[in-house]
Amino acid sequence: MAILVGEKTRAIVQAITGSQGSYHSQLMLQYGTKIVAGVTPGREGTSVHGIPVFDTVEEAASRFQANASIIFVPAPHAKDAALEAITANLNPVVVITEGLPVKDEIQIMEVARLKGTTVIGPNTPGIITPGECKLGIMPSHIFKPGKVGLVSRSGTLTYEIAAGLTNAGLGQSTCLGIGGDPVVGLSFVSVLEMFRSDPETESVAMIGEIGGNAEEMAAEYIKSSHYPKPVAAYVAGRVAPPGKRMGHAGAIIMGRSGTADTKIEALRNAGVRVAMKPGEIAKLLK
Partner 1 sequence: MKLFEYEAKEIARQYALPVPTGLLASTPQEAKEAFQKINQPCVIKAQVLVAGRGKAGGIKSASTALEAFEAAKSIFSMTIRGERVTRVLVEQKLVSKHERYVSIVVDRPSRGYTILSSTAGGVDIEQTAEEHPERIIRHRIDPLMGLQEFEARIVAKKLGYSGKQMNQLTSIILKLCQIMDDYDAELIESNPLIETEDDELVAADLRILVDDNSLYRHPMFLERMKILEPDMTPLEAKARERGLAYIELDGYIGIIGNGAGLVMATLDMILDYNGTPANFCDVGGGASEERIASALEIVLSNPRVKVLLINIMGGITRCDDVARAILDVQKKTGISKPMVIRLVGTNEEEGRRILADAHIPSLNTMEDAAAKAVEIASKVK
Give the residue numbers annotated as catalytic, written as ranges. Answer: 248
Amino acid letter, residue 186? L
Residues 57-96 within binding reach of partner 1 (CB under 8 A): 75-76
Fill in the DSSP letter of residue 254.
B
Type and span of the H or E element at 106? helix 102-115
Q: What is the C-alpha separation between 162 and 50, in angstroms, rounded?
A: 31
The verdict on 110 binding partner 1 (CB under 8 A) reads yes
Size of the site for partner 1 (CB under 8 A): 61
In the list 13, 81, 138, 232, the residue contacting partner 1 (rule: CB under 8 A) is 138
The verdict on 278 binding partner 1 (CB under 8 A) reads yes
Query: With CB under 8 A as the contact rule, which of the stretches 49-57, 81-89, 180-188, 225-233 interacts with partner 1?
Result: 180-188
Q: How far is the CB of 124 from partner 1 (least distance, A)?
A: 12
The verdict on 101 binding partner 1 (CB under 8 A) reads yes
- Closest Cα partner for 5 from 77, 108, 113, 94? 94
Fill in the DSSP letter of residue 270.
T
Residue placing its CB nearer to partner 1 in the complex, 132 or 215: 215
Are the C-beta atoms of 118 and 111 separated by less than 8 Å? no
Are the C-beta atoms of 75 and 101 separated by less than 8 Å? yes
Query: With CB under 8 A as the contact rule, which of the stretches 43-51, 84-92, 147-155, 223-231 interacts with partner 1?
Result: 147-155
Task: Give the other-Cβ count within 10 Å of 42's Cβ.
Answer: 8
The verdict on 269 binding partner 1 (CB under 8 A) reads no
Query: With CB under 8 A as the contact rule, which of the stretches 31-39, 63-71, 196-204, 233-241 interacts with partner 1?
Result: 233-241
Residue placing its CB nearer to partner 1 in the complex, 54 or 72: 72
Q: What is the C-alpha separation between 24 and 173, in angstroms, rounded?
A: 22
Residue placing its CB nearer to partner 1 in the complex, 45 or 239: 239
The verdict on 268 binding partner 1 (CB under 8 A) reads no
145-152, strands of its sheet edge to edge: 133-136, 126-129, 172-177, 145-152, 203-209, 231-236, 273-275
Fill in the DSSP letter of residue 193.
H
Q: How far is the CB of 102 from partner 1 (least distance, A)?
A: 5
Q: Residue 173 phi/psi, 5° resolution?
A: -80, -60
Q: What is the C-alpha separation between 141 and 202, in angstroms, rounded?
A: 22
Q: How far is the CB of 59 from partner 1 (least distance, A)?
A: 26
The verdict on 157 binding partner 1 (CB under 8 A) reads yes
Q: How far is the CB of 236 from partner 1 (least distance, A)?
A: 4
- Helix, strand, or coil here: 235? strand
In the list 121, 131, 149, 212, the residue contacting partner 1 (rule: CB under 8 A) is 212
Amino acid letter, residue 90? L
Where do contacts with partner 1 occur on this chain (CB under 8 A)? 75-76, 99-103, 105-107, 109-111, 113, 137-139, 142, 152-160, 163, 180, 182-183, 187, 207, 209-210, 212-214, 217, 234, 236-241, 244-251, 255-256, 260, 276-279
